Amino acid sequence: MSASFVALSGGVGGAKLALGLCEVLEDPRRLTVVANTGDDFEHLGLRVCPDLDTLTYTLAGLANPETGWGRAGESGAFMEALGALGGETWFFLGDRDLAIHVERTRRLRAGESLSAVTAALSARLGIRARIVPMSDEPVPTVVETDEGSLAFQHYFVRERCRPTVLGFRHEGAERARPCAAFLDALAASDLGAVIVCPSNPYISIDPILAVPGVRAALDACRAPVIAVSPIVGGRALKGPTAKMMAERGVEPGAAAIARHYDGLIDGLVLDEADRQDAAAVAATGVAVEVAATVMTGPTEKRALAQAVLAFAARIGADGERRPQSSSTA
């Protein structure tokens, strides 16, 4: 039987790599994609889980190709009608997309867990990989800014990432537990690799790592942990990663990503545009692979997935694992 894999993912960039992995793996059912749920919030009385939904729509072939989030062929009659009533329209919920929020909210209120609802909905949409929320308990990200504390979507969508970031809080993390399917996947004896997708380290991956027990489970797992840098040529392809790094006094680049994941990763995949950073990344003690990380189409997604899997297999065969992190949080 083929090895199993775990991917840690935020929204759009992570979902693209997850799709590539699904397409190149012999059996996509052996892939567990763990989604950040720090972006989740209650809006218009509905439970909205942007990264879970971006993964679900992408793996189901339903994603909006222009935005990366939401559904293809979307319409906005609900938003238009809501606006006419004076309702809140800063966060766009398309007519088709509404269905997943209504159904998830109904099932959560009926007592189902977020992981059970996610599994049921993705099965209905024919997804073969397993999409797992990082936790069934809410761990909302709060962004500390020069304009005060902002709930994540208020910072990200309503304020368009404009305020200067001073830091992040993962509210309720101390009471949260990782989903059982997440821990089981990390403990699998046939685990081939853990892949940290090219997602924003601060707002997509750190919330997953903030759930108590995740770092310890990653340290204990047998397989190599490989990250794909979300920075290309010193800039983020999409989203505020480079802006956040600069505001936190970090020079945006692959070496900074390697330092951010110090003690967590065994290898980092850099884009060809950042080849000159390979020595600086290697100096942090991790193995380096250079690949084309910009996933413009299906061919590029599959090629990056193949490159990541081959890199992980090489590191696994060498038996070269990172020094264990001192953090057990």
- List contacts with ligand FO1 (CB under 6 A): 10-11, 39, 48, 50-51, 53-54, 69-70, 91-93, 97, 153, 156-157
Residue 89, class by beta-carbon neighbours within 10 Å (0-12 exposed, 13-18 middle, 19+ buried)?
Answer: middle
β-bridge partners, 131: 33
| Smallest distance from ligand FO1 to CB 92, Å | 3
User: Shortest gap between Cβ of 87 and ligand FO1 (angstroms)?
Assistant: 14
Residue 70 vs 201, nearer CB to ligand FO1: 70
Q: How far is the CB of 113 from ligand FO1 (least distance, A)?
A: 19
Give 10 or 252: the residue with its C-beta nearer to ligand FO1.
Answer: 10
User: Which DSSP symbol is given to 312?
Assistant: H
- What's the closest the beta carbon of residue 230 comes to ligand FO1, in angstroms? 12
Using the minimum distance from each CB to ligand FO1, give the nearer residue, 30 or 71. 71
By C-beta, is 48 or 186 nearer to ligand FO1?
48
Q: Which residue is nearest to ligand FO1 (CB)?
A: 11
Q: Which residues contact 26 (CB under 8 A, 6 or more apart)?
A: 2
Q: Provide the CB-side half-sphere exposure for 160 (13 A, CA).
A: 1
Nearer to ligand FO1, 93 or 218 (CB): 93
Q: For residue 84, what is the enclosing H or E element? A: helix 77-84
Is 6 within 8 Å of 186 (Cβ atoms)? yes
Given the complex with ligand FO1, which of 104 and 130 has the nearer CB atom? 104
Question: Least distance to ligand FO1 from the beta carbon of 97, Å?
Answer: 6
Shortest gap between Cβ of 172 and ligand FO1 (angstroms)?
18
To ligand FO1, the closest distance from the beta carbon of 52 in angstroms equals 8
Please work out, in degrees rounded to the nearest 5, the angle formed at the alpha carbon of residue 210 by the alpha carbons of 36 and 107: 45
- Dihedral over Cα of 275, 277, 283, 285: its sign: negative
Separation between Cα atoms, residue 205 and residue 267, nearest integer Å: 16
Toward ligand FO1, which CB reaches closer, 10 or 178?
A: 10
Contacts of 309 (CB under 8 A, 6+ apart): 5, 21, 24, 25, 192, 193
